[in-house]
């Protein structure tokens, strides 16, 4: 009896112990899942910050280009010297004639000095040349400019023979490897070749655009890819991306670090890159995406080399899209319902007699101002400051106002290329303008399905978007995004990946991290590091819009308490930055709250100013303006700097300042500009570098501020 009770007691004890163990396991599991969910939420918020800022920069570039196009289309220089200068600034991206280009980039006249210890190239290229280049770049050696120009010349000759859409077959090789964006990250390319093997007759590669920009080794990547292209012309295929574009390169720095002749040849090579690749007539590879008007038959007939920059020309308008679709469906313009769009171009009133110079001058100023406002609406150039006045030194070419920049057919071709290079997929049905990037469109699963059905395709492969795991399926696994630049935003932010396709066309993925530090970090450390970098970039963006934020906050803070509700704070911040971020979730990382739940925006903005001033010893108000406009100023500087030496001449500075003065609300005489240029040439070398260029911006900004303050008294 006693033995039986003892067994029961032991059984109950064991049962209780097991039950406690199960409860503990469940608690630990719940805690871990909650912990991982919080980390994932932080990662996604961080990702949204990086992506929103990146796309906002691309949108700014397109708006800046639209402004340049407006200047070219609507201003007539007052002298032949100004006309030549403007032509050099804005038409320098156009193609050279064949003979002119060969004469301009004459590599044969360049001598390689005996002291040169880098790799040597001789044509036709052999596989040993390619492997020697790889080893040289691993040793941080550089290729001499003569060989670079020679390589670009041969690459251009080869690309000119290729169709717009390359055709690849898995019958002639074991598999085809598709790589996405590399963005100047040579270590990623090295790792791909290490893991997957070098290009060979049995191993074909398709590199899907965006070889350059952002990374520091863009030229090296081009040299390696072009070399393998010439060694294995049937196994290596290159698609054009949206960053293989002269105007985009000006903003993102690739054009700022290499010689003028090399860059001229590169931009000419870029415009000859094929636009798409077809594998076994079943898999379409394009850089960005498609639209509801994508026509592969038309794409094959486009003279792609004419589009040095696909940003040139007019932007897609939704109303134009609808009209085109209606015409295709057999509907006339008269039957179509009126689409809302920009206001019609203002027609100039009857010009007064030139005998009355005052009246005629007034008429010119009024007419030009109307045209400027109309062009700004077309180009989506909005002014956050007060409306600017047009100075009398700016003249408009009235004869050119009614002439379109491109014919309708050319515009359709440009939009078609813009779509495949800039577009992104979306989960919703339909096709709409990509307002986030500023170019291309968003296309839904129905658009994908129609294209696949029309051309008997199995699925699409595209790149263009950074993905956390290096790849991602969407549209019922009919669209595959592949991205090959690991650690794109920050170390640990994302993996890179490539995809391999065999004769069965079943995708097999390989993921990697090219940075050794990323392998040593825990998941928490990676997310914390990336999060810190993202919020630093976001705080810079917020600081750059301090003035706009103060105005938005004051609209909710009628009593001037310096405090507003979380809801009003989030609404105000989004109205100014327009980044589409979850500001309520980001609030704890950005701004303090009081005991009653209100946010102290005044102290928060003061803290932002202190943080940025600690890095740049500049007046807070001016620093805000420079932060907000620095990318645009760098782009403008690079356009003026035609030889890419990092310097602009006094004459170029003088002409530029006259050109932009009417749009910066600044009026300076010729003597005033001469005094300004002499005062900022600190080292007295007769040229202006970028820091001196910013100094001119600072001096004029201070002059404006002093005039404004005098006007208040």
Nearest to 150 by CA among 97, 108, 112, 119: 108
CA distance linking residue 143 with residue 149, whole number of Å: 10
Q: Which two tokens stand for residue 119?
A: 């790799």
Query: Do 190 and 114 meet the contact criterion of CB atoms below 8 Å apart?
Result: no
- Alpha-carbon Rg for the chain in angstroms: 29
State how beta strands 424-425 and 276-279 pair.
Answer: unpaired
Start-to-end CA span in the chain (Å)? 106
Pairing of strands 175-179, 203-207: parallel
Q: How far apart are the C-alpha atoms of 608 and 564, rounded to whole Å?
A: 18
* Phi-psi region at 598: left, alpha or beta (left = phi > 0; alpha = psi -120 to 50): beta
Q: How far apart are CA 224 and CA 221, in angstroms?
A: 5
Known catalytic residues are 243
User: Could you tell me the strand order of the sheet in which 496-501 lies?
Assistant: 236-238, 203-207, 175-179, 496-501, 507-512
Helices (H), 92-199: 98-104, 127-138, 145-159, 186-196
User: Which residues partner with 207 through β-bridges?
Assistant: 179, 238
| Separation CA 636–CA 690 (nearest Å) | 10
d(CA 467, CA 484): 9
368 alpha carbon, distance to own chain's centre = 32
């Amino acid at each position: 009896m006693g033995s039986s009770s003892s067994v029961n007691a032991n059984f109950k004890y064991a049962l209780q112990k097991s039950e406690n163990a199960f409860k503990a396991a469940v608690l630990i599991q719940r805690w871990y899942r909650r912990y991982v969910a919080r980390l994932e939420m932080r990662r996604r918020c961080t990702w949204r910050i990086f992506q929103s800022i990146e796309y906002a920069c691309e949108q700014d570039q397109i708006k800046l280009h639209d402004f340049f196009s407006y200047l070219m289309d609507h201003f007539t220089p007052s002298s032949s010297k100004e006309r030549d200068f403007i032509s050099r600034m804005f038409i320098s991206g156009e193609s050279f004639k064949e003979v002119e280009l060969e004469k301009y980039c004459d590599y044969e006249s360049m001598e390689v000095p005996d002291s040169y210890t880098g790799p040597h190239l001789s044509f036709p290229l052999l596989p040993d040349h390619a492997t020697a280049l790889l080893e040289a770049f691993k040793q941080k050696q550089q290729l001499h400019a003569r060989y670079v120009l020679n390589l670009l010349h041969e690459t251009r000759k080869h690309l000119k023979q290729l169709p717009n859409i390359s055709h690849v077959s898995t019958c002639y090789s074991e598999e085809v490897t598709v790589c996405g964006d590399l963005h100047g990250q040579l270590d990623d390319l090295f790792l791909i070749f290490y893991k997957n093997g070098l290009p060979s007759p049995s191993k074909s590669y398709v590199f899907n655009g965006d070889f350059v920009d952002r990374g520091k080794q863009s030229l090296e990547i081009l040299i390696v890819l072009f070399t393998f292209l010439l060694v294995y012309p049937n196994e290596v295929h290159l698609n054009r991306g949206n960053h293989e574009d002269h105007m985009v390169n000006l903003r993102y720095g690739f054009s700022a670090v290499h010689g003028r002749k090399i860059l001229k040849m590169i931009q000419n090579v870029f415009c000859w890159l094929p636009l798409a690749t077809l594998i076994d007539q079943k898999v379409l590879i394009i850089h960005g995406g498609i639209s509801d008007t994508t026509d592969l038959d038309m794409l094959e007939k486009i003279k792609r080399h004419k589009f040095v920059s696909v940003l040139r020309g007019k932007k897609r308008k939704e109303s134009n899209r609808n009209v085109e679709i209606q015409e295709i469906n057999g509907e006339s313009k008269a039957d179509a319902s009126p689409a809302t769009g920009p206001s019609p171009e203002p027609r100039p009133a009857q010009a007064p007699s030139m005998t009355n110079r005052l009246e005629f001058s007034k008429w010119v100023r009024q007419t030009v101002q109307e045209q400027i406002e109309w062009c700004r609406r077309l180009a989506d150039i909005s002014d956050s400051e007060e409306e600017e006045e047009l100075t009398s030194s700016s003249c408009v070419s009235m004869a050119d106002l009614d002439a379109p920049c491109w014919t309708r057919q050319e515009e359709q071709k440009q939009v078609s290329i813009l779509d495949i290079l800039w577009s992104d997929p979306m989960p919703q049905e339909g096709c709409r303008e990509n307002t986030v990037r500023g170019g291309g469109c968003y296309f839904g699963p129905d658009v994908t399905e129609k294209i696949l059905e029309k051309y008997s395709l199995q699925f699409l492969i595209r790149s263009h978007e950074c993905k956390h795991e290096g790849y991602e399926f969407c549209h019922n696994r009919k669209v595959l995004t592949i991205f090959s630049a690991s650690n794109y935003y920050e170390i640990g932010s994302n993996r890179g990946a490539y995809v391999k396709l065999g004769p069965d066309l079943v995708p097999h993925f390989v993921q990697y991290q090219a940075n050794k530090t990323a392998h040593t970090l825990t998941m928490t450390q990676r997310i914390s590091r990336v999060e810190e970098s993202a919020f630093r970039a976001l705080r810079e963006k917020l600081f750059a819009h301090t003035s706009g934020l103060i105005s938005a906050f004051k609209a909710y803070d009628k009593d001037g308490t310096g405090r507003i509700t979380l809801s009003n704070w989030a609404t105000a911040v989004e109205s100014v930055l327009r980044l589409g971020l979850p500001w309520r979730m980001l609030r704890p990382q950005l701004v303090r709250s009081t005991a009653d739940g209100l946010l102290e925006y005044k102290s928060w903005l003061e803290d932002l100013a202190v943080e940025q001033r600690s890095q740049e010893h500049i007046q807070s108000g001016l620093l805000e303006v420079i932060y907000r406009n620095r990318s645009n100023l760098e782009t403008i500087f690079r356009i003026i700097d035609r030889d890419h030496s990092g310097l602009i001449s006094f004459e170029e500075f003088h002409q530029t300042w006259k050109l932009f003065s009417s749009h910066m609300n600044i009026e300076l005489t010729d003597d005033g500009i001469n005094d300004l240029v002499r005062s900022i040439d600190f080292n007295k070398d007769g040229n202006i570098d970028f820091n001196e260029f910013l100094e001119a911006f600072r001096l004029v900004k201070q002059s404006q501020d002093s005039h404004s303050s005098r006007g208040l008294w």
